[in-house]
A and B are shown apart, each in its own frame.
Chain A
Amino acid sequence: MSSPAQAAVVDGPVPYAEHYDPVAGKIGMWLFLFTEVLLFGTLFIAYAVYLNEHRWYFQEGSHHLDKLIGATNTIILLTSSLTMAMAIAALERARKMRSLALAAVTVLCALAFLVIKSFEWGEKFAHDIYPNSATMLAKPLGEQIFYGLYFTMTGLHALHVIIGGLVILLAMGLVWKGKVGPERIGFLENTGLYWHLVDLVWIFLFPLFCLIG
């Protein structure tokens, strides 16, 4: 036996206090970023040890990587970091469309980076330079290690660019639907933190592979 008022409560949407804790979310994101730092960090240590051992071959290998392509990709990623930071700043000011446009530019930069990277790798593949290729195995050990680290580290980084671009697209969808907005911006902020980390890793990868020759 229920009165109409009670029935309305049971049939209607169940009210609950939605838990949104941007500070905990941000700290959690940073903890995840620290694991990423240590993931790339171990590869940087491997690089440092082998650089010490095969310095001449690393410099020789670096001569064969295109500085200007690397620099172009650096400029693209730095610009994408700017547009990402500004997309967050725009949403904080409740400028939804401006925020979406800036995030879209960020995704386009990610795409441009990947296209350029694929041409760079494709050119190496065309010269039969990839891990375990016949040309590669005929090279001195130091150069094999240099190219091994090059493909591993830039490949892992490119994977992060792909994931970052997809997460930005997801964040754009949530902003578009209003689920992420000026009062609830955590998801976009954390996406930005991830994207800036991807930029940060590239800031170290670029000189270590392209500029030491």
Chain B
Amino acid sequence: MLSRARSNVPKSTGDLATTEVDGFPVWEVFAQKKQGAIHVHAGSLSAPDASMAQLFAREHYGQDQQCISIWVGPRDIFTADGGEHESYEVFVQWVAGYRHEHMGEVSANNGAEAKTKCIEQFTGDKDYFTIWSAPVSKLTKIDGCTDMIWRETTDQSYRLAKGYSRVVRKKWDAIRAKDAVDAYQEEDLEDTF
């Protein structure tokens, strides 16, 4: 039987009982996979403030892929031209379709200048598609050393394809010829298995 809570869901009809609450602002999330790797754009999420954004970012963008550091900031800080004189992290999207990558830190008077400095110091003559800059004072940085991000002890392979690949292959091999299984598995998305 369904759980009690699911069985007792009322079936309302007609107009929705609620009025609309304003949507939450959008936040961009960057994740660093391991020591020495750069922060790469992981995606965006909606949250009312930094502490919720951080909580959501960890569980949604930090869980699956091993990661040791997450940066979160409201979307508009990345594209803003205005700002104060301070340090800015700068990010480059080299080609359409690819993710923004962290290039480094520059000192600038505002966002526009930070982007210009990014070109001067990091992209040079190379073609790029877009540049983002974020004032360090407006970024929330979560560090694996001081905050728990990745569950270090519980084996996460139950939620990964590679956690099942070997066992499934063995089960197929027990009932099908090798080349039939090979042909069947050709459709498995290569980079995920």
Whether chains A and B associate is: no
Identify the A interface with B (CB < 8 A). Answer: none
Identify the B interface with A (CB < 8 A). Answer: none
